[in-house]
Amino acid sequence: METLRATAEGAIPVQTKEVKAFGSEAADALLQQLNITRRNLTAQDVEIEILFCGVCHSDLHTVKNEWHSTVYPCVPGHEIVGRVINIGDEVTKFKVGDLAAVGCMVDSCRHCDYCKEGLEQYCEEGNTGTYNSPDKHLGTRTYGGYSERIVVDEDFVLRVPENLDLAATAPLLCAGITTYSPLRHWNVGPGQKVGVVGIGGLGHMAVKLAKAMGAEVIVFTTSPSKVEDAKRLGADDVVLSKEQGQMSRYAGKLHFILDAVSAKHDINAYLSQLRVDGSLVLVGAPEQPLPVAAFSLIPYRRSFAGSMIGGIAETQEMLDFCGKHNIVADIEMINIQQINEAYERLLKGDVKYRFVIDMASLKK
């Protein structure tokens, strides 16, 4: 099969093949099986048979066009674990049969200052997302991991520690790196008290990672039902944030807070938990702005910041760290045919703590 890619020099033929996938044709449509086009290997490409794909809330946002940028058909999925089945002639980092992973990016400009610093997620020209981004090879949009196979440049493919459960490793490619990157950047470690706000797909990973880094971990949750689960995940203490008496227990004492809540909440209540020079980093994405009071910051030299995923080198570092400490996500496995039901449950927060698709179900 052949398609044409438009360039300044004219139309260039690109060899392609069809693979099975699950995706959506419109914002109000259910996900269903469809065929998509993958490029044949270039010299630097790795072809991966997808074994497992995590389900991220970003998948749902994109499929429903809630960020007003979706191009259909849309095939989501950027928490991909699989096995290498083919490599290009110039590939040196992988061989056929290797375990491999793909996260939220499949390319970037590679020449801006941020790319050169290993911060491809902040690429000045915009990184190429694993799905719903312009595909420079085919001239269409990229398609994600709800599919049989994916073809990715070897520089954006990651190695998977062999000791980890493969299905439970998949969410590390987004939820894991999204929480690891700020913990690492702000030098979380022994002797620090670290707060985690919200126990969900992101928050439960933050607890595991911060604990493995040697910090004392305090979880903030609005749900009494999550107290015991937070402790099971490794939290040293749990604060029910709706109870003022409990919130005062750590006021002015925390070195760092990772806020994973995507709903509207009082950010000043959490800033008040920071000690002098403490930082609160937002990784959740509330739809509405969060008002910040000047005097929540000024008298204590506190910082309020944000963070998103990590670069390729840092993502590999995270996977290796998880391999060393035997850290994976808490997951519920589903078949691809259950994805629409899973999205409904995701909206209700009815999962502990990440859905993962067994992609073998796509072949049924």
CATH node for 2-173+310-363: 3.90.180.10
**Token code pair at residue 232:** 């099971």
**pLDDT tens digits, 352-362:** 999 999 999 99
Is residue 165 within 8 Å of 322, Cβ to Cβ?
no
Predicted local distance difference test score (pLDDT) of residue 1: 57
Is residue 322 within 8 Å of 213, Cβ to Cβ?
no
Q: Does the pLDDT at position 191 exceed 50? A: yes
Q: Shortest CA distance to 291 belongs to which of 269, 308, 276? A: 269
**Token code pair at residue 306:** 């944000």
Instruction: Round to whole Å and give the CA distance between 16 and 313.
Output: 29
Biggest CA pair distance of the chain: 68
Predicted local distance difference test score (pLDDT) of residue 16: 82
Share of the chain above pLDDT 70, in %: 96
Q: Where are the domains of the chain?
A: 2-173+310-363, 175-306
What average pLDDT is seen over the chain?
94
**pLDDT tens digits, 93-139:** 999 999 999 999 999 999 999 999 999 999 999 999 999 999 999 99
Q: Does the pLDDT at position 183 exceed 50? A: yes
**pLDDT tens digits, 44-76:** 999 999 999 999 999 999 999 988 999 999 999
Predicted local distance difference test score (pLDDT) of residue 14: 59
**Token code pair at residue 3:** 């398609």
Is residue 323 within 8 Å of 164, Cβ to Cβ?
yes
Predicted local distance difference test score (pLDDT) of residue 15: 72
Instruction: Round to whole Å and give the CA distance between 276 and 300.
Output: 5
Instruction: Round to whole Å and give the CA distance between 310 and 173.
Output: 10
Q: Does the pLDDT at position 12 exceed 60? A: no
Q: Does the pLDDT at position 4 exceed 70? A: no
Share of the chain above pLDDT 90, in %: 90
Q: Strands 216-221, 237-240: parallel, antiparallel or unpaired by DSSP?
A: parallel
**pLDDT tens digits, 306-332:** 999 999 999 999 999 999 999 999 999
Instruction: Round to whole Å and give the CA distance between 201 and 353.
Output: 5
Predicted local distance difference test score (pLDDT) of residue 130: 98
Mean pLDDT over 256-264 rounds to 94
28-33 LR contacts (CB < 8 Å, sep 24+): 30/340, 31/63, 31/146, 31/339, 31/340, 31/343, 33/336, 33/362
Superfamily of domain 175-306, CATH level 4: NAD(P)-binding Rossmann-like Domain (3.40.50.720)
Is residue 286 within 8 Å of 263, Cβ to Cβ?
yes
